[in-house]
Structure 1
Amino acid sequence: SALLDMYSKCRDIKNAETVFRKTRHKNIVSWTAMLVGYGQNGYSEEAVRVFCEMQRNGVEPDYFTLGLISFITVSNALVTLYGKCGNIEESHRLFNEIKLKDEVSWTALVSCYAQFGKANETINLFEEMLAYGLQPDGVTFVGVLSACSRAGRAGELEEAKNFILKMPALLIQLVGHIAELM
């Protein structure tokens, strides 16, 4: 569990997953460490999946586990899941219920609208995200760029491109996401 925790804190989820998979007798501590690792690193869907798997394996979460699985992590995962299932309205409703939205919350909804070709909504959400002072990541930009190009909105596309070029680390992350899509 300490090794899982260390990998998670170093943002090395792949090695954390390897250690977790190789652990023969998983207890509440190892399950919680993996859940927290996913949650802290923005892997909301995986956190929900592991939580469900934990319960299927007969390991009941204790108060400590439940306290570490933050409301925001679960909410972000649900926004993403509803969006992937095509239920944009439910995804947006849940998004609106999140009191303290983070970058993952906004990106989940931006991606949802972009996936279904809702360019105006995607761009409006992106602009709101920026207005709140939140930092978009590569996933956010893939959604925005996709929405702009589908809608033929060259002005916004150019604006987004210029924003990306000002941030070298973001550009590298974006190229990685685009490579995954190909």
Structure 2
Amino acid sequence: MDGGGEWLEVTKENSIATAGVLGGVTGLLLGGFWIGAAGFVASSYLAKKEDSDVSSVLKGVSSASLEALNFADYLNQKYEVSTKVGSAITEAIDKNADSQESLKSVKSSLDTVGDAIESFDKDVGIKDTLGSALLAGSDLASQLATKVLELNEEYKVTDQLKAKIDEAMASSKKS
């Protein structure tokens, strides 16, 4: 790879955003939506901490993930994998289209959808828009986690919760 044609540039910001996404996806797969959201917030927050070993690990894993995506994109471009797969599907449909009108309709629909996606990507820039949204989301998640920790420090919410739980446990043991 020449570095200039990377699909996703490996930068500090992209690594932090990718850490959030990886944490969110992992949480989503392991425990559902709320665990995924918590994983996204936690990994976004931890990846932004400069003095943390966890931050270094998260950024390292995300950088490696970005490199893997870039390498896959490089191979796809070099060997034209997606183009060849698309051509093979089109050829198979063309061979069978003589006997089946529905296949012609499917082929036409696929061509239309493909053209629409390509046009939309040129107009909107899906990669850039999605990247900006992920960076903003990662930043907001980190700010949220920081604010929650500050509020907990100020109001000692976890200490109060622990005291109430201990009090309830003690009263239940007496009864």
> TM-score, normalized by length of structure 1?
0.20
Specify which structure has the higher proportion of helix: 2
Max Rg structure: 2
**Larger RCO, structure (CA 8 Å, separation 6 or more):** 2
> TM-score, normalized by length of structure 2?
0.21
